[in-house]
Structure 1
C-alpha cells in the first residue's frame, strides 16, 4: 500500500529544501536573490538599473539557509563593479560576498560647445546623451534643470559631461556692491545700508559692512537684500 503524506508535510518539503535532503545552499537562487536586492536598492537612481552577476563557483559549499539577509558592505556602494554581502541567519551562520556589475543608463548633460569660466549656461550650451552614469565621475548631471541658469566655474571643452562641481548658482550679490540690510525679529523690522564684502548666490551667507563699520553676516536674497535674523 502506497504511503500518503499529509499536505503540511509536502508544504514543508517545498518551503525548506533542507528537509527534502538538500544539504547545500542553492547558489543560483543566491545569485538571483542578490540581483533582485541590488535592483531594488537602485530604484531611486535617475535611470534604468541593470545588474549582472556571474554564477558562483560551484565548488562553494554553504549549508542550506532558510533566512538570508543581503547587505552592502561598509565602504561600498552598488555602482559599477561592486560586491554585495549575503548573510545566513538560520539554521547555519555564514557570510559570502557576491561580485556584481551595476550599470545605470540615464540621460547625461554634456557641453554642446566650449564653455568659459563665468559663462551662464543656456539651452544652446548643452546636449543630452544616454549613457551608463557609473562610468563617469561622481556628481555627473542627469537633469538639464541642474545646469540651466548656472555659471561655469571652470572652462569646459565641447563634448565633456557636466558635473555639479563645475557649476554654481549665479551671484545675486557681488563683492563691493551696496546692499540693503533687512534685520527682522519678532514684532520688528530694521532697514539699513551696507556694502557686501563677499560674493553670494541666493540663500548663501554673505558678509556685509554696515554704515557704522560693523561686520554683519546674513542671507543673500534677490534684489541686493541681505536678511539678518534676530
Structure 2
C-alpha cells in the first residue's frame, strides 16, 4: 500500500472512530415506547379486567444522550392509568426527560343498570347486573359487586346500560318511621342476647342511631340501624 493510500486510510479511520461514538451516544427513541409499554403492563397486570394501549409517536428527530441506567416512568400529575395519560420518562443519569402521550382503554366487569331507572330507585340485584364495560372515561368510581350497593338508592335518573358510580348514589333509609323492626340486643362481649319486636320512631340509614319502641314493654330505646328493618342495641 502506498504512502498516499495509508494517509487516506488513516484519515478514514480517524473520521469513523469519531462518528461511531456519536451514534452510540444517542438514545434509541423507539425503545422508550417499548419501556413504557412494559411499565404499563407491570402496573395493570394485577388489576381486574383487560386493557388496550395506543401510543402517540415520539418525534424521531429527538436527540437524547443514551441513558446508562433504566429510565424512570411515571404518569404526569400522578393520575390514574386510564383514558388519555401523559407519561413522564426520565433519564436520571443524563438529566433529560420527555413526555409520551398514551391512550389506555380499560375493560372491567362493572355494575350497570338493567333498565332505565328513575331517581330514588333502591338498588337491588333485580335492577342491576354486572357487565364488561370500557371505563377509561367513566366519571366517578365504579363498582364491581352488586352487593356493595346494598342500602343505596339513585340520586339521579340513569339509562339502561349506564355504569353505576358513586356520583349516582345516596344512602337509602333502611328503616322508616312507624314500621316494625327487629331489635337485636347484643352483650358487651359481642354475643347475641335476645331478639324482640320494635317500632321505629325515626327514619334511619345504616349506621344511624334512632329511637325505637319495644312493642312488648313500651320502653323507648336508642338503637343502631344495621340493615333493612333491623336495629341493634348494646347492653
For normalisation by structure 1, the TM-score amounts to 0.67
18, 26, 29: which one pairs with 2:28?
Answer: 26
Matched residues in 2 for 1:99 and 1:25: separation?
A: 18
C-alpha change, 1:218 and 1:146, in structure 2 (3 Å) is closer
Q: Deviations over 1:186-224 (max 9, x none)?
A: 4998879674534223xxx1122366777x563524652
Matched residues in 2 for 1:103 and 1:190: separation?
A: 52
The answer to whether structure 1 residue 105 and structure 2 residue 107 are counterparts is yes
Contact 1:35 1:52 in 2 (8 A): no
Aligned counterparts, 1:179-194, within 5 A: 180=183, 182=185, 184-186=187-189
Q: Deviations over 1:138-190 (max 9, x none)?
A: 33445555568964443323343333443567654334546536353249988
Matched residues in 2 for 1:36 and 1:27: separation?
A: 15
C-alpha change, 1:26 and 1:197, in structure 2 (3 Å) is same
Matched residues in 2 for 1:65 and 1:217: separation?
A: 65
Residue of structure 1 in register with 2:9 after alignment: none
User: Once the 2 structures are TM-superposed, how far is the Cα of residue 26 of structure 1 from its aligned partner?
Assistant: 0.9
For normalisation by structure 2, the TM-score amounts to 0.66
Matched residues in 2 for 1:44 and 1:19: separation?
A: 41
Structure 1 residue runs without a partner (length 5+):
1-17
User: Once the 2 structures are TM-superposed, how far is the Cα of residue 56 of structure 1 from its aligned partner?
Assistant: 1.1
Structure (1 or 2) with the larger CA radius of gyration: 2
Q: How many residues align?
A: 207
Residue of structure 1 in register with 2:95 after alignment: 93
200, 207, 210: which one pairs with 2:205?
Answer: 200
Secondary structure of the residue that 1:185 maps to in structure 2? Answer: coil
User: Once the 2 structures are TM-superposed, how far is the Cα of residue 60 of structure 1 from its aligned partner?
Assistant: 1.9
Matched residues in 2 for 1:223 and 1:22: separation?
A: 74
Residue of structure 2 in register with 1:54 after alignment: 56
Contact 2:56 2:102 in 1 (8 A): yes
Matched residues in 2 for 1:149 and 1:187: separation?
A: 24
> Which stretch of structure 1 is more off in the superposition, 166-175 or 53-62?
166-175
Contact 1:110 1:160 in 2 (8 A): yes
The answer to whether structure 1 residue 78 and structure 2 residue 81 are counterparts is yes
Contact 2:204 2:225 in 1 (8 A): no
Aligned counterparts, 1:1-230, within 5 A: 22-67=24-69, 68-90=71-93, 92-121=94-123, 125-126=127-128, 130-143=132-145, 151-167=153-169, 171-177=173-179, 180=183, 182=185, 184-186=187-189, 195=200, 197-201=202-206, 205-209=207-211, 216=222, 218=224, 220-221=226-227, 224-228=230-234
Q: Deviations over 1:20-66 (max 9, x none)?
A: 96111111111111122112212244321112212211222221112
User: Once the 2 structures are TM-superposed, how far is the Cα of residue 89 of structure 1 from its aligned partner?
Assistant: 2.5
